[in-house]
Amino acid sequence: MDQPVVSRGFRSKRRTSGAAELPPGQYLTTDFPVLSAGPTPDIRVADWNISLQLGGTLLGRWTWDEFEALPQTTIKTDIHCVTKWTKLKTVWQGVTFDDLLRVVGLDAPPNAFIMAHCDGGYTTNLPLADLIGGRAMIATRYEGLPLAPAHGGPARLLVPHLYFWKSAKWLRRLRFMPKDEPGFWESRGYHNYGDPWREQRYDGD
Amino acid sequence: MTAIDAPQLRSRIEWQIGRVQAIVAETSRVKSIVLQPTRWPGHRPGQHVDIRLTADGGYRAERSYSIASPPAEHLITLTVERIEDGEVSSYLLDELQIGDPLEFRGPIGGHFIWNQAANRPLCLVAGGSGITPLMAMLRHRRASRDPIPASLIYSVRSLDDIIYRDELDAMTDGDADLRLVYALTRACPGNWSGHRGRIDQLLLAESSFAREENPLFFVCGPTGFVESISSKLVKLGFDPLAIKTERFGPSGE
């Protein structure tokens, strides 16, 4: 729509103090809302493992203790949820996807896409280009503390430059794919890629 | 990428202008806004729309609101609760008038939707304004010739906070297959014979369905409410995949 319709009488209650520029349609929040399609699974780290899969081959599988022993990285980043909240300067710790590839002896990703599989049946698809080069990690700590179950603990994907549904909670398996396939939300009306700066919320955006 | 590899491109959900046809005061904190869309492809019960407000200087705000009206109606009803310091809810509740334009797009959402054809008992659990998308389901169910068994467990602070109360009470008249349970968490009238306090596991067990009946659950409300209800349902032995959730905030709006 070229001519925006001014909403008579609508005034911003925000933007009072040089707020950081947000992606279009987003607003700032200071708490950490929870969005999930179903119940939060009850996962004990003693029973937990995470695997990296290429076709029928398991490239790696780590128990909790093994995963904790991998190189750890801490990042500070803004996160953007498709439901329109943005949270600034969140601090995460985990294993970068680059380090995970190194650990299994891969110099370069074998496929161009990946599907993340999670407890509870959730999936999300991502291009490899968005996971490497320090752009993504498997996070196990938030603000210095173990990741709470409601926020995806014990481990979630963190791909902060895309809408937050791509940062799949309760991550258990990463599967390389030669061709892109839609994941859970991507099959249910949400955008296949999800760039907040281009406001790719829904299919066709 | 070859044409064969190209993902199927679906059309964008475009912004459009709705006209406000009616504004209904539901409770002291809640109003329903009835919109006449420019065009509407039809929606499914549980879906939402995004609305977009634009200030004089170009500042914009977007929010999502669940659709409360059933698919059969050509007008779209949104139900809006006042959020403290909420710039969008205060505009919708205090400034918006009948006849005003309201920019929106939809319908949106492909998970928290009820497909009547699933033919499974329907158990709805609402906290506060989380009733809205569930109301679309109940209104849709009411319109069907042979409504499937359904149950609504609705948690609110007090009787005065029940949204759609008259309509809900009227729905149960003459419908033995619809069970309606209010849980009052703060203030109960002296003669209140319904549930007092928060929804607990016993109330969920008594007011939903047996596991063997394979019910479908839709749980909507504030985050803490949804977390609590959905974990209780899992503890009662219901299939986690049969429990669909939608969380409202808390998000500072």
Per-residue pLDDT of chain B (253 residues; tens, 9 = 90+): 334 444 455 689 999 999 999 999 999 999 999 999 999 999 999 999 999 999 988 889 999 999 999 999 999 999 999 988 889 999 999 999 999 999 999 999 999 999 988 899 999 999 999 999 999 999 999 999 889 999 999 999 999 999 999 999 999 998 999 999 999 999 999 999 999 999 999 999 999 999 999 999 999 999 899 999 999 999 999 999 999 999 875 443 3
Å from A38 to nearest chain B CA? 5
Q: Which of A7, A8, A12 to mutate to test the interface with B (most CBs of B within 10 A)?
A: A7
- Per-position DSSP letters for chain B, written without gaps between them: --TTTSPPPPPP---EEEEEEEEEEEETTEEEEEEE-S------TT-EEEEEEE-TTS-EEEEEEEB-S-TT-SSEEEEEE--TT-HHHHIIIII--TT-EEEEEEEE-SSS---GGG---EEEEEEGGGHHHHHHHHHHHHTSSSPPPEEEEEEEEEGGG-TTHHHHHHHHTT-TTEEEEEEEEEE--TT--SEESS--HHHHHHHS--GGG--EEEEEEEHHHHHHHHHHHHHTT--GGGEEEEEE--S--
Residue pair A99/A93 in contact by the 8 Å Cβ criterion:
no
A1 inside 8 A of chain B by CB: yes
| Interface touch A150/B223, C-beta < 8 Å | yes
Q: What is the dihedral of CA B234, B238, B244, B250, to 10 degrees?
A: -30
B84 inside 8 A of chain A by CB: no
pLDDT of residue A19: 57
Mean pLDDT of A103-128: 96
Interface of B with A in 8-47 (CB under 8 A): 9-17
Q: Which of B96, B244, B251, B253 to mutate to test the interface with A (most CBs of A within 10 A)?
A: B251
| Interface touch B13/A202, C-beta < 8 Å | yes
Cβ neighbours of A19 (radius 10 Å): 11
The full 3-state SS of B70-89, as one line of letters, equals CCCCCCEEEEEECCCCCHHH
| Interface touch A36/B231, C-beta < 8 Å | no
B59 → closest Cβ in A15, A180, A185: A15
Summarised one tens digit per residue, pLDDT across range A119-137 is: 988 999 999 999 999 999 9
Summarised one tens digit per residue, pLDDT across range A74-90 is: 999 999 999 999 999 99
User: Which chain A residue has its CA at the smallest distance from B245's CA?
Assistant: A38
Cα-only R_g, chain B: 19
Q: How many angstroms separate the CA atoms of A54 and A49, rounded?
A: 17
Tokens of B198: 């928060």
A179 inside 8 A of chain B by CB: yes
